[in-house]
Amino acid sequence: MAKDFEARARDRLEPAVYDYYAGGADDQVSVNDNPRAWQRVRLRPRVLRDVTAVDTTVTMLGATAAAPIGIAPTAAHELAHPDAECATARGAAAAGVPYVVSTLSTRSMEAIAEAASDAARWFQLYVRGDLDRARALVQRAEACGHQALVVTVDVPTLGLRRHEAMALNDRVGLPHMARPDDTGGDTYARHVALTFDDLHEIISWTSLPVLAKGVLRADDAAACVRAGVAGIIVSNHGGRQLDTTIDPPTALEEVAAAVGDATEIYVDGGIRRGTDVVKALALGAVGVFVGRPVIWGLVVDGADGVCAVLDELRTELERAMRLCGAATVADVTHDLVVGP
């Protein structure tokens, strides 16, 4: 279904918009390799287990989700559908999974909350300009009912995205971003090169659980735990930052082995099938996040398309679990995989 949605979305989008969503950095090695990396991990299924009933529910940061799946933060949903992030949130709520709202959303976090008050919403934070501006966003996110804060830590500067032929500010409004005339120039457009001390300070601002997104090394993961994170999202930014990075399943296994007992581990990048979700769980993840497939669903059918993509992924997960001899998510253990 994911490929079908992408083909239909590509037909509907102008080429520059499709390229914005689909492309990666530099030579696009990582963006193309991410899905293949999950295919290189092989399953070693169990047989003769009672899988009459399979339960995909899981607890993510203390809240129950219908499946160990969430929506990764992606920018500018208005380019995909007129209802933008409000439709995405409604689709997530219908599917019963969390949605990570991007700092670069085209609807305000308050409007998204109003449109889908029953959605599990986490807020993704880019720190741009200075920490004071970021603190105001964190306070707003907590005030309008987000359940977690996701700090993206792999953007001291933007990766070189040769495919991007447009500037978001020229196409859509970004309500969480100050306009240049409000900042006396382009200062706010610049990303802050965060340190672990900065991460610790951000954590001190809020009572929400804070996750660090963009970690690919065990030593960095351990330092994030010492800074006080409630979770880590293993991610190479969908291949949009540094090209030719380590692939997500390889990094996930390393990070989970190092800190999996100390914090919750999640992963994104290239997740396309229910078998990919099984592999991620077996390698130590609590859950996965998907980005581009959700965008394609949004383009094709708004909130219903988002829900359809997520439901199909959950259905595939249930089937894969049954074929692996795993009746619950807790039964998906490391012995089910070979590799990466």
266 HSE (CA, 13 A, CB side): 27
User: What is the rounded (10 degree) CA torsion for 153, 154, 155, 161?
Assistant: -150
Q: Which of 146, 200, 237, 334 is catalytic?
A: 237
Helix axes 292-324, 274-282, angle to 10 degrees: 70
What is the reported pLDDT for 189? 63
What is the reported pLDDT for 225? 98
What is the reported pLDDT for 180? 55
Active site residue 237: yes
What is the reported pLDDT for 3? 75
What is the reported pLDDT for 201? 97
Which residues of the chain carry a pLDDT beneath 70?
1-2, 164-166, 179-189
What is the reported pLDDT for 188? 53
Where helices occur in 55-101 by DSSP H, the ranges are 84-95
pTM for the complete prediction?
0.95
Q: Using an 8 Å Cβ cutoff, are 235 and 269 in contact? A: yes
What is the reported pLDDT for 318? 98
What is the reported pLDDT for 165? 60
Per-residue tokens: 149:
């804060």
4 HSE (CA, 13 A, CB side): 7
**Domain segments of the chain as ranges:** 2-330
Strand partners, 307: none
- The residue with tokens 């499709």 is 18
For strands 264-268 and 69-71, give the pairing: unpaired
Nearest CA to 309 out of 288, 290, 323, 322 is that of 290
What is the reported pLDDT for 219? 98
Nearest CA to 119 out of 251, 274, 310, 270 is that of 310
Summarize pLDDT for 104-156 with one digit per residue, the tens.
999 999 999 999 999 999 999 999 888 988 999 999 999 999 999 999 999 99
CATH node for 2-330: 3.20.20.70
What CA–CA distance (Å, rounded) separates 207 from 209? 7
Angle, CA 193 vertex, CA 60 and CA 134 arms, to 5°: 60
Summarize pLDDT for 7-40 with one digit per residue, the tens.
999 999 999 999 999 999 999 999 999 999 999 9
What is the reported pLDDT for 89? 98
